[in-house]
């Protein structure tokens, strides 16, 4: 039983981190209807830019390497880069393609993926880096001592961080002026335009927020696995979360992430040995697919969108 | 006007495509199917960088091999099979004598050009990867999986664990976990591990990690439940640091994990941070810059600002040094071939093949090359395209790799017999009549 | 002046229903085929045949398969490479296990295997569409490759999970040389492309397009959605399967399941978007573009600025330019290169007197 709980809780925590990546997709899809495949590349770009700045900043400014000042300066610089990237994407790539077919917009984001990957590695180099957030990756001692359960302290803190961000975003969406505008745009572009909401600004804001989400996801995933090209693959973990939770729903992303994370771990441990293991790669997709057969709009998706 | 510009551009491209390279006759050409972008770009950049630096050093220090300058050209494959084939075809007729060796550093590309190299008479050297049973030179005359195949490596790792346990007989009743990358590469380990388990009486628990392997919570919880005595990490790319980190957070002792050589570079441990302290991995070359051959590269190449690595601190890393090993073997094969066919001119693909097949890098030669302890001695024969099969084990102390074992060989007898069987099956399937090596 | 259909009268229905109703198109097509079949094998060297023409034809066929599904029937799929893998492994096993089976029969059967699997993974399309469906087809991508790696039977228990294509011999003719391989590939591709061209202008194709444009309306006028969609999945997968088998037998020789990865699926999707969604010719133009562009960039870079910048940077610049060009093309012509060709034809009709 303890073992099952370990697997389950470990899976739920991973699930929150999947949801974190999925959130970036949801934000952009909701506001602009673009399925932004470049989100994975943005996670990589953000993490690499952050680590790159922490490496060069001490040389530029004379601050002590690893100090808090370097961390926050690098964070701000990386965030600014993401905002610039978001605004540039809106200006150069998306604006000329307004009203094109969704698939064209999707493809353009794949082109953007190559572009971002090339720029990131062209500037900072391709070698694998370590990212230390100062959170030790050890089992939570309290649980280990009392229940003999191994739950990673890092994952717990990362999941809490992610949840705080979810709440912050939810509050922003719900109670601020920008948030209201965002929701209006998500509901209906035309109507939003006609009541005077500046669509282009909103899109730039959304891409910037998605950049911020990518930065947080990049920091957490980069600290777990190292900052390297493979960070772009985190997108593949987020896609089943998206179909399960719905492309347009923020709570859906969280719930979907929890379900996917927990079920894939449980399946790998209890089902994997019977079929040779390694099923984590496809299991979430099959699960999400089967789920869609029953409920085509996903958990929280909007019903009218993708009903056949 | 626009049209004419387009036309001129097209014409320019056409000349680039078709232009045969105007090179002097005294140059030995090699085409390098490298990859510097994509998921494995970090590894490719270090390895091909080391190789290029070594060739540069030979040109600078010795003026080439017996007066024949080395030239090379890179072709980006992105670790993609179709791109690799294109590179192979593009480069095979370049240079005065065509491409002299093809080393794709990708098992997928190795398979994709396997038939072609025999047709085009270009030797293919796959050091530490590629098709294992190609070590049988009677069936695969053109392929050289040198130093050690995957099967030999698995066996050598078990020998190392046996040593640590105080003898192979102590392996009886032990439980070995095999955490492998769920792909053709990972599956290579299965057959030989099963045979070894049978021979020595230990049990193997195989645990698959789905590619790319950036999530391993489930696998390590399984390991934690089974509590194997050792875990062999058969990984690639991001799977390695993730495995080490997840091991530490699930409380598995890191010094009981032994990695293969594709899990034993700085790239694999640095991201894992402190969790990797005490982790051991196999390799056929140690890390470090203290070897005379690396020092020569520093003085003759980097001091003149002609080094290939944009980040000089990576000189001396495991993968970089592995690239230098590639360079040493390549240059020694040229030398061997020249001694037989005539010095002072570039070798053809066929002559290079002879050079590889008669390669003999013994201790004395290694010392002369400034590579004593840098790579194992290596003797290739017509039958045995693998050579020594010797490995060293290194431990990561948080800062650098330290060698913790002498050269350790696998169970040569077992591995050779498995290779022979597998190659014979391939020959039967393809209708190949194996060469008679006594006639060579 | 040269491309004008004025004066070409159709006196019978048969005439009116030709594949190429315009005489200039007929002549152009025959000339192109003559060139490809009779001239190319003699003038092209090994590099062009083995590294450019054969892969372009094979990827063109796979792109055509995806175009049938996505361009004509409107179902987005990201699993094309997996269906290619099914075709390749299917053909291999038919060749291996049935003694003396002719290659073309095995190819057909391999394609049918892919079609069957395609129908299976096409089932979700009955309930979902758009990006939901695209992500669901990723299930096929990952699952099929996993099965091929995991179960040794498919690769005849080879230790590394790869299959090695048998030699192809049709009616005593050996297809070993690059020229013969090229000719066989070309024949299969041309036949299948013509079939597809016919299919999309028949009632089958019109049904697909009706479903694509508005499925509810299509259902109202009596098109059976389930049948039409699954048919599109089957035929599309069949095309991909045949392309996969050709990829193994005519191009690489030895293939591993991981070779048919997600990256390849994306590449095929790229081909149809760049080439032109809903265009047979666009599939081939797109394939040529996506196969050749990275090669061209690589050659251009290494011969020009490659000597001056570090190799790492050169490779990354290639990637950047590749991405930028794709963005550029999509912005300039969101309907693909085939659309440019159409526009050219329109202009040619009036040329040189546009008014």
Per the domain annotation, does A305 fall within a domain?
Answer: no
Q: Is residue A303 in some structural domain?
A: no
Residues B101-111 as b/e (b if ≥16 CB within 10 A, e otherwise) read bbbbbbbbbbb
Contact between chains at C252 and B210 (C-beta distance less than 8 A): no
Per-residue pLDDT of chain B (440 residues; tens, 9 = 90+): 344 444 444 444 444 444 444 444 688 999 999 998 888 888 899 999 999 999 999 999 999 999 999 999 889 998 888 899 999 999 988 888 889 999 999 888 998 898 889 889 999 999 988 888 899 999 999 999 999 999 999 999 999 999 999 988 899 999 999 999 988 888 888 889 999 999 999 999 999 998 888 889 889 989 988 899 999 999 988 999 999 999 988 889 999 999 999 999 998 999 888 889 999 999 999 999 999 999 999 999 999 988 888 888 889 999 999 999 999 999 999 999 999 998 889 999 999 999 999 999 999 999 999 999 899 999 999 989 998 889 999 999 988 999 999 999 999 999 999 999 999 988 988 888 898 888 76
- Do B85 and C313 lie within an 8 Å CB cutoff? no
| Residues in C touching B184 (Cβ below 8 Å) | 149, 160-162, 256-258
Residues 6+ apart with CB under 8 A from C85: C144, C145, C148, C244, C257, C259, C260
Query: How far does CA A258 lie from the centroid of its chain?
Result: 14
Please compute the mean of the pLDDT values over residues A258-267 and round it to a whole number: 92
B218-249 in b/e form (b: 16+ CB < 10 A) is bbbbbbbeeebebbbbbbbbbbbbbbbbbbbb
Q: Specify the domain boundaries for CATH 3.40.50.2300 within chain B.
A: 23-148+289-388, 150-283+392-410
Token representation of residue A11: 């899976």
For residue B37, which of A119, C316, C310, C294 has the smallest C-alpha distance?
Answer: C316
Count Cα neighbours of B100 within 13 Å in the Cβ-side half-sphere.
Answer: 30
Q: What is the CATH number of the domain that holds A30?
A: 1.10.3470
pLDDT class of A303 with cuts at 50, 70, 90? low
- Angle among Cα A150, A152, A153 to the nearest 5 degrees reads 125
Interatomic CA distance for residues C153 and A192, integer angstroms = 58
Q: Closest chain A residue to B39 measured between Cα atoms?
A: A229
Domain that holds residue A148: 2-294
HEC readout, C283-341: HHHHHHHHHHHHHHHHHHHHHCHHHCCCHHHHHHHHHHHHHHHHHHHHHHCCCCHHHHH
The answer to whether C330 and A108 have CB atoms below 8 angstroms apart is yes
- Superfamily of domain B23-148+289-388 in CATH is Response regulator (3.40.50.2300)
Classify B347 in phi/psi space as left (phi over 0), alpha (psi -120 to 50) or beta.
Answer: beta
Please name the residues between 71 and 130 in chain A that touch chain C, using a CB distance below 8 Å: 92-93, 96-97, 100-104, 106-108, 110-119, 121-122, 125-126
Binding partners of C (≥3 Cβ pairs within 8 A): A, B
What are C220-273's pLDDT values in tens digits?
999 999 999 999 999 999 999 999 999 999 998 888 888 898 889 989 998 998
| A256, A268 Cβ separation under 8 angstroms | no
Q: How large is the average pLDDT for residues A11-15? A: 92
Pairing of strands B390-396, B401-403: antiparallel
**To which residue do tokens 């050269």 refer?**
B407
pLDDT tens, C261-318?
A: 888 998 999 899 889 888 999 999 999 999 999 889 888 877 777 667 788 888 888 8
Q: What is the ipTM of this complex?
A: 0.89
Contact B182 C46 (CB under 8 A): no
So what's the pLDDT on residue C56? Answer: 95
Render C63-99 in DSSP notation, one character per residue: HHHHHIIIIIS----S-HHHHHHHHHHHHHHHHHHST
Asked if B83 reaches chain A (Cβ–Cβ under 8 Å), the answer is: no
Q: Is residue A52 part of a domain?
A: yes
**Distant-in-sequence, close-in-space partners of B175: CB < 8 Å, separation ≥ 6:** B202, B203, B205, B226, B227, B228, B229
The angle at the Cα of A88, spanning A87 to A90, to the nearest 5 degrees, equals 65
Cα(C128)–Cα(B362) distance, integer angstroms:
66
Domain B150-283+392-410 has CATH 3.40.50.970: no
DSSP E strand stretches across B106-221: 124-125, 143-144, 175-181, 203-209
pLDDT digit string, tens, across residues A171-188 = 888 888 888 888 888 777
Chains touching A (at least 3 CB pairs under 8 A) are B, C
The whole-angstrom separation of Cα A35 and Cα A29 is 5
In this model, does residue A88 exceed pLDDT 60? yes
Across the interface, which of B13, B36, B93 has its CB nearest the CB of C300? Answer: B13
Q: Which of A58-62, A81-85, B384-388 has the lowest mean pLDDT?
A: A58-62
Q: Are C289 and C52 spatial neighbours (Cβ–Cβ below 8 Å)?
A: no
Q: Are B144 and B355 in contact (CB under 8 A)?
A: no
The answer to whether C204 and C227 have CB atoms below 8 angstroms apart is: no
CB contact under 8 A, B37 and C319: yes
How far lies A146's CA from each of A150, A157, B250, C326, in Å? Answer: 11, 20, 16, 57
- Cα–Cα distances in Å, from B182 out to B108, B414, C114, C164, C214? 14, 25, 23, 20, 42
Mean pLDDT value of segment A87-116: 88
Give the span between the Cα atoms of B68 and B95, in whole angstroms.
13
Packing angle between helix B81-91 and helix C54-67, nearest 10 degrees? 160
**Averaged pLDDT of chain C:** 89
A268 in a domain, yes or no? yes
| Widest CA span in chain B | 82
Tokens describing residue B392: 């060293």
DSSP-derived secondary structure letter, C200: H
Please state whether beta strands B230-234 and B27-32 pair in parallel, antiparallel, or not at all (unpaired).
unpaired
Residue C186 lies in a domain: yes
Q: Which residues in chain C land under pLDDT 70?
A: 1-2, 306-307, 354-355
Q: Which residue matches tokens 């941070």?
A: B273
Q: How many domains does chain A have?
A: 1
The percent of residues in chain A predicted with pLDDT above 70, rounded, is: 97
Tokens found for residue C325:
């060009």
Q: Chain B partners of C150 at a C-beta cutoff of 8 Å?
A: 182
Contact residues, chain C, for A32 at CB < 8 Å: none
**E strand map for A137-274:** none
Find the closest chain C residue to A278 by CA distance: C146
User: Is C162 at the interface with chain B, CB within 8 A?
Assistant: yes
> Contact at 8 Å (CB) between C110 and C88?
yes
Q: How far apart are CA B311 and CA B302, in angstroms?
A: 11
| Binary contact (C139, A286; C-beta < 8 A) | yes
Percent helix, strand, coil in chain A, to 5, is 75, 0, 20
pLDDT tens digits, residue range A207-262? 999 999 999 999 999 998 889 998 998 888 898 998 888 888 888 889 999 999 99
Q: Please state at what angle helix A234-245 crosses helix A2-32, rounded to 10 degrees.
A: 80
Task: Give the pLDDT confidence score for residue B2 in this predicted structure.
Answer: 44
Supply angle C-alpha C260, C263, C268, rounded to 5.
85
Q: Residue B25: what pLDDT?
A: 60
Domain range holding C51? 43-350
**C324, C100 Cβ separation under 8 angstroms:** no
pLDDT value, residue A302: 61
- Chain C residues near residue A281 by CB distance under 8 angstroms: 142, 146
Contact C212, C73 (CB under 8 A): yes
Token pair belonging to B366: 């290694």
Which pair of structure tokens corresponds to residue A192? 């939003």
Report residue C148 as tokens. 């091929």
B116 inside 8 A of chain C by CB: yes
Partner C, chain B 169-198, Cβ-Cβ below 8 Å: 182-185, 187-188, 190-191
| Count of structural domains, chain C | 1
């Amino acid at each position: 039983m303890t073992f099952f709980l370990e697997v389950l809780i470990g899976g739920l925590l991973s699930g929150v981190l999947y949801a974190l990546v999925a959130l970036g997709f949801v934000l952009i899809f909701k506001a602009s209807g673009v399925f932004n495949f470049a989100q994975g590349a943005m996670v990589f770009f953000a993490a690499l830019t952050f680590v790159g700045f922490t490496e060069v900043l001490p040389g530029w400014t004379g601050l002590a390497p690893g100090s808090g000042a370097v961390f926050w300066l690098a964070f701000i610089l990386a965030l600014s880069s993401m905002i610039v990237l978001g605004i540039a994407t809106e200006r150069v790539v998306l604006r000329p393609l307004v009203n094109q077919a969704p698939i064209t917009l999707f493809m353009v984001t794949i082109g953007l993926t190559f572009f971002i990957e090339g720029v990131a590695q062209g500037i900072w180099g391709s070698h694998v880096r370590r990212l230390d957030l100062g959170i030790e990756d050890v089992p939570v001692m309290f649980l280990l001592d009392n229940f003999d359960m191994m739950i990673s302290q890092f994952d717990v803190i990362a999941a809490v961080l992610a949840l705080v961000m979810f709440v912050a975003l939810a509050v922003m969406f719900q109670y601020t002026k920008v948030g209201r505008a965002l929701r209006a745009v998500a509901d209906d572009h035309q109507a939003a335009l006609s009541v005077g909401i500046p669509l282009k600004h909103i899109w730039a804001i959304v891409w910037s927020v998605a950049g911020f989400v990518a930065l947080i996801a990049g920091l957490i995933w980069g600290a777990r696995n190292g900052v390297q090209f493979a960070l772009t693959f985190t997108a593949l973990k987020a896609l089943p979360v998206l179909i399960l939770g719905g492309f347009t729903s923020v709570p859906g992303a969280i719930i979907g992430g929890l379900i996917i994370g927990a079920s894939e771990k449980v399946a790998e441990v209890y089902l994997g040995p019977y079929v040779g293991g390694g099923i984590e790669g496809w299991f979430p997709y099959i699960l999400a697919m089967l789920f869609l057969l029953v409920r085509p709009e996903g958990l929280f998706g909007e019903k009218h969108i993708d009903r056949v | 006007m626009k049209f004419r510009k387009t036309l001129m551009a097209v014409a320019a491209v056409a000349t680039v495509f078709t232009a045969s390279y105007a090179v002097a006759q005294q140059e030995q050409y090699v085409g390098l199917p490298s990859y510097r972008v994509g998921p494995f770009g970090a590894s490719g950049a270090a390895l091909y960088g080391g190789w290029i630096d070594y060739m540069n050093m030979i040109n600078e220090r010795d003026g080439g091999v017996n007066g024949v300058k080395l030239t090379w050209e890179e072709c980006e494959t992105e670790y993609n099979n179709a791109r690799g084939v294109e590179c192979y075809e593009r480069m095979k007729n370049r240079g005065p004598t065509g491409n002299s060796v093809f080393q794709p550093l990708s098992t997928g590309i190795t398979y994709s050009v396997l038939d072609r190299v025999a047709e085009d008479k270009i030797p293919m050297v796959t050091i530490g990867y590629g098709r294992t049973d190609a070590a049988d030179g009677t069936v695969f005359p053109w392929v050289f999986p040198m130093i050690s195949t995957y099967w030999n490596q698995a066996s050598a790792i078990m020998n190392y664990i046996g040593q640590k346990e105080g003898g192979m007989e102590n392996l009886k009743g032990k439980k070995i976990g095999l955490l492998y990358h769920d792909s053709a590469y990972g599956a290579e380990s299965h057959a030989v591990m099963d045979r070894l388990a049978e021979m020595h009486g230990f049990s193997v628990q195989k645990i698959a990690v789905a590619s790319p392997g950036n999530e391993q919570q489930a696998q390590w919880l399984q390991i934690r439940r089974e509590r194997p005595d050792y875990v062999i990490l058969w990984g690639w790319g991001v799977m390695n640091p993730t495995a080490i980190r997840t091991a530490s957070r699930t409380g598995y002792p890191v010094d009981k994990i032994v990695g293969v050589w594709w899990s034993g570079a700085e790239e694999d441990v640095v991201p894992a941070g402190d969790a990797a302290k005490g982790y051991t991995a196999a390799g056929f070359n140690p890390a470090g810059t203290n070897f005379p051959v690396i020092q020569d590269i520093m003085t003759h190449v980097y001091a003149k600002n002609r080094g290939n690595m944009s980040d000089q601190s990576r000189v001396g890393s495991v993968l970089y040094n592995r690239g230098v090993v590639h360079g040493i073997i390549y240059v020694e094969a040229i030398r061997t071939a020249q001694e037989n066919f005539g010095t002072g001119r570039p070798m053809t693909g066929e002559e290079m093949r002879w050079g590889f097949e008669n390669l003999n890098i013994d201790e004395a030669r290694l010392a002369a090359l400034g590579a004593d302890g840098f790579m194992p001695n290596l003797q290739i024969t017509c039958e045995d395209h693998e050579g020594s099969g010797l490995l060293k084990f290194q431990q990561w102390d948080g800062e650098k790799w330290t060698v913790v074992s002498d050269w350790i060989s696998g169970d040569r007898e077992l591995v050779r017999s498995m290779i022979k069987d597998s190659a014979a099956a391939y020959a039967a399937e393809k209708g190949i009549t194996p060469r008679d090596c006594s006639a060579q | 002046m040269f491309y004008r259909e004025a004066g070409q009268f159709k006196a019978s229905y048969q005439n009116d229903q030709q594949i190429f109703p315009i005489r200039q198109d007929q002549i152009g097509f025959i000339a192109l085929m003559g060139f490809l079949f009779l001239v190319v094998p003699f003038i092209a060297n090994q590099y062009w045949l083995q590294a450019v023409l054969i892969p372009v034809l094979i990827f063109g066929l796979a792109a055509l398969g995806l175009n049938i599904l996505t361009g004509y029937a409107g179902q987005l799929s990201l699993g094309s490479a997996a269906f290619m893998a099914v075709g390749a492994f299917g053909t291999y096993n038919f060749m291996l296990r049935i003694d003396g089976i002719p290659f073309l029969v095995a190819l057909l059967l391999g394609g049918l295997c892919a079609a069957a699997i395609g129908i299976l993974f096409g089932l979700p399309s009955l309930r979902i569409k758009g990006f939901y469906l695209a992500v669901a087809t990723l299930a096929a991508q990952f699952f099929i490759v996993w099965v091929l790696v995991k179960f040794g039977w498919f690769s005849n228990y080879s230790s590394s999970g790869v299959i090695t294509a048998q030699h192809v011999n049709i009616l005593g003719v050996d297809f070993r040389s690059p020229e013969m391989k090229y000719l066989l590939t070309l024949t299969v591709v041309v036949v299948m492309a013509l079939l597809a061209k016919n299919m999309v202008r028949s009632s089958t194709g019109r049904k697909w397009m009706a479903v694509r444009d508005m499925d509810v309306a299509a259902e109202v006028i009596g098109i059976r959605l389930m049948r039409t969609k699954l048919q599109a999945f089957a035929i599309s997968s069949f095309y991909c399967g045949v392309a996969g088998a050709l990829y193994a037998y005519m191009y690489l020789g030895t293939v591993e399941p991981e070779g048919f990865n997600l990256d390849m699926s994306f590449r095929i999707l790229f081909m149809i978007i760049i080439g032109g969604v809903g265009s047979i010719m666009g599939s081939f133009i797109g394939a040529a573009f996506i196969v050749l562009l990275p090669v061209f960039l690589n050659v251009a870079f290494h011969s020009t600025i490659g000597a001056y910048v570090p190799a790492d940077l050169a490779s990354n610049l290639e990637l950047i330019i590749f991405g930028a060009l794709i963005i550029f093309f999509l912005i300039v012509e969101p309907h693909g290169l085939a659309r440019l060709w159409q526009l050219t034809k329109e202009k040619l009709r009036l040329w040189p007197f546009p008014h």
